Amino acid sequence: MSTWIIVVAIVLIALLVALVLLARARSRALAPSAPPTPLPEVLVSQVQARPTLEEEPAPLRQRLGGTRGLFERVRALTGEGTLSAEQRDVVEEVLLRSDVGVATTRAVLERLEAGVPDGVAEGVRHALLEFLSRDRGVRLGAEEGRVPVWLFVGVNGVGKTTTIGKLAQHHIDEGRSVVLAAGDTFRAAAADQLEQWAQRTGADIVRAAEGADPGSVVHDALGRARARGADIVLADTAGRRATNANLLDELRKVRRVADREPGQVVETLLVLDATTGQNALSQAREFLDAADVTGIVLTKLDGTARGGIVVAIERELGIPVKFVGVGERVADLRVFEPAAFVDSLLAS
């Protein structure tokens, strides 16, 4: 008897559920269908920028998406021969907005005014390449019996430590043994960050307690490198001090130690953050006097940077950009290649 009651109850409940579902389906069918909501732009760009898991280098034009977007109006200019007034205005506005800077923009326009036989975009491409024609090879070897040192300088937060970590991986991939010198002793966290890179890449590291003399860290790193027959020392430095004069003095001292036997500074790389635009230029000028800079590393060209700053820096400072950072992964540190860079902005 009770079994029957349960069976009837289940059947009734099932009927009830079916009725409710039917009613909901009908009301949905009758309701006017809402127009599909477009994805907000910001979400789209985040999804596109999401790093993939593999370390395959993404095409440069994709990493430089922001700057490429700015150059769209130049790429769209048609016609050849002479530059019209409207075309001139477009080129001027785009170059200025992309941080090429006033002086360099003027120089590009002068060249275009002489004629654009292959079209405006091609003319701009040529002019920019002309300003990026320095020798940008890096030195890996030192004198007999000395250990080559790459010294990294730049203000706090520009990407020095990250760049060192990425470069350590590149050197190791090419078969060189690397010693990292944690010369930013301003905060313990700076050495911790470098130590993480050492663990990740298999590089050796020399570090000291917070507040220790950065010169002695570099000195010890050189001793270690020589004892172990390491191929290169990558030396981190602090990007802040109580006053700027202090910082530059300290850099001079660190440099002297790094350049004394058994060490030899073969590259002093000034790291600049591309997103700071024209500010990066004035920062650079301060460091140039103090540090004998042999090359620039321009980081954060992905994101909101306006990549024309590469051209401004190289033309106005006369120092070659040797590496660019286009993201946070190891594969995002690239040897700077002007043709690939300019093509990624101007080729259709």
Ligand X SMILES: Nc1nc2c(ncn2[C@@H]2O[C@H](COP(=O)(O)OP(=O)(O)O)[C@@H](O)[C@H]2O)c(=O)[nH]1
Site of tokens 């043709």 = 339
3-state secondary structure 192-257: HHHHHHHHHHCCEEECCCCCCCHHHHHHHHHHHHHHHCCCEEEECCCCCCCCHHHHHHHHHHHHHH
162 binds Mg ion (CB under 5 A): no
Q: DSSP secondary structure string, 124-149?
A: HHHHHHHTT-S--------STT-EEE
Shortest spacing between CB 247 and ligand X, in angstroms: 13
Q: Which two structure tokens, joined as six digits, stand for 100?
A: 């090429």
Shortest spacing between CB 174 and Mg ion, in angstroms: 24
| Nearer to ligand X among residue 5 and residue 242 (C-beta) | 242
Q: Shortest CA distance to 268 belongs to which of 304, 322, 199, 310?
A: 322
Helix (H, G, I), strand (E, B) or coil at 78: coil
Shortest spacing between CB 198 and ligand X, in angstroms: 14
Q: What is d(CA 297, CA 68) in angstroms, rounded to the nearest whole number?
A: 20
Shortest spacing between CB 153 and ligand X, in angstroms: 9
The piece of 82-90, 183-191, 317-325, 328-336 that touches Mg ion (CB under 5 A) is: 183-191
Shortest spacing between CB 166 and Mg ion, in angstroms: 13
Contact 171/140 with Cβ under 8 angstroms?
no
Q: Shortest CA distance to 335 belongs to which of 305, 293, 289, 296?
A: 296
Site for ligand X, rule CB under 6 A = 154, 156-162, 239, 271, 299-300, 302-303, 325-328, 332
Q: How many residues bind Mg ion (CB under 5 A)?
A: 3
| Nearer to ligand X among residue 75 and residue 241 (C-beta) | 241
| Nearer to ligand X among residue 131 and residue 197 (C-beta) | 197
Contact 326/284 with Cβ under 8 angstroms?
no
Q: Are strands 333-335 and 263-273 parallel, antiparallel or unpaired?
A: unpaired
The piece of 155-163, 214-222, 256-264, 304-312 that touches Mg ion (CB under 5 A) is: 155-163
Shortest spacing between CB 66 and ligand X, in angstroms: 11
| Nearer to Mg ion among residue 149 and residue 182 (C-beta) | 182
Task: Give the one residue of 67, 161, 201, 283 binding Mg ion; rule: CB under 5 A.
Answer: 161
| Nearer to ligand X among residue 68 and residue 146 (C-beta) | 68
Shortest spacing between CB 159 and ligand X, in angstroms: 3
| Nearer to ligand X among residue 125 and residue 334 (C-beta) | 334
List the single partner that 300 binds among Mg ion, ligand X, none, CB under 5 to 8 Å by kind.
Answer: ligand X
Helix (H, G, I), strand (E, B) or coil at 123: helix
| Nearer to ligand X among residue 66 and residue 239 (C-beta) | 239
Q: What is d(CA 154, CA 175) in angstroms, rounded to the nearest whole number?
A: 28
**Closest residue (Cβ) to ligand X?**
325
Which residues bind to Mg ion, rule: CB under 5 A?
160-161, 190
